[in-house]
Amino acid sequence: MMFFRPQDLVDVENMLKTPSTEIDLNLVREQLVDIFGQRDPRISNWDEIVSRTRG
């Protein structure tokens, strides 16, 4: 999510699709907001990826 390249988004989505991957999704989102701000497009992309893979 840091560099926000298309392949990075694919990689994040694939990682979240792995059932054994334990990630604190809320913590990741909070950290993204802290670093980039609530209005940064990374936040909405993160939310969409989480919704597709874990929603």
pTM for the whole thing? 0.90
In the chain, the number of structural domains is 1
Query: Is residue 40 a part of any domain in this protein?
Result: yes
DSSP per-residue letters across the chain: --S--HHHHHHHHHHHHSTT----HHHHHHHHHHHH-TTSHHHHHHHHHHHHHH-
Report pLDDT for 55: 73
Q: What is the pLDDT of residues 20-29, one digit of tens each?
A: 778 999 999 9
Q: What is the pLDDT of residues 1-50, one digit of tens each?
A: 999 999 999 999 999 998 877 899 999 999 999 999 999 999 999 999 99
Query: Is residue 1 a part of any domain in this protein?
Result: no
Query: Is residue 10 a part of any domain in this protein?
Result: yes
